[in-house]
Amino acid sequence: MIKKTAALIGMLVLAGCTATPEKVPTKTTPKPPPKKVTQPSSGVKITPYDQKEIKRQSVPVVVPQQKVQQKFNDDGSQLPAFKNLMQKTQVAYKQQQLAEAERYALQAQRIAPQATETYLYLALIAEKRKEYANAEALARRGLSYAQSNAMKKQLWSIILRASEARNHSIKAQEARRALQAL
């Protein structure tokens, strides 16, 4: 009896779910009249826009009376923040505080990534730590940005010392030739 009642209720529920809903009348909006399309002799279809025409207006340009201009060289080494960090790097390096000197040099490098001085100090720090491969790589990267012969000489001397410490005679010979050429 209970099974029959449950089956009957299930069939009524299914029949109720499958019944089609009443149709609600929908409001239709009138369609705008078709746009006038003209076809010139070239075959290009031209359809006008519904929007109003865009008009050109002149906008007055406001120029400040006095512009503040700071001129920096290409590598950013003239920035005050860079100079401050490099001074801190030099002081820490002279006091044998290599971790602090490295931290300052890396901060300076973020400010001026093409400044040669940061690579010089990072290479010197790596050399003090006996990380000769790193010292050589940093010195070579610094060489790619170096402009003065004095800076190139310092970087090549780091490469020479690092190559000799690693027993790389070919690289050491290359560094000697470069130092003689300067």
**136-166 pLDDT, tens per residue?**
999 999 999 988 999 999 999 999 999 999 9
For the chain, give the mean pLDDT. Answer: 81
Whether this prediction's pTM lies above 0.85 is answered by: no
Q: Above 80 in pLDDT, residue 4?
A: no
Predicted pLDDT of residue 121: 94
Average pLDDT over residues 7-33: 64
Kindly tell me if the per-residue pLDDT of 80 is higher than 60: yes
Query: Could you tell me which of 129, 162, 170, 165 has the C-alpha nearest to residue 143?
Result: 162
The dihedrals phi and psi of 136, each to the nearest 5 degrees, come to -65, -45
C-alpha–C-alpha distance, residues 76 and 81, integer Å: 10
- Closest among 86, 119, 127 to 104, alpha carbons compared: 86
End-to-end CA distance of the chain: 109
Summarize pLDDT for 131-140 with one digit per residue, the tens: 999 999 999 9
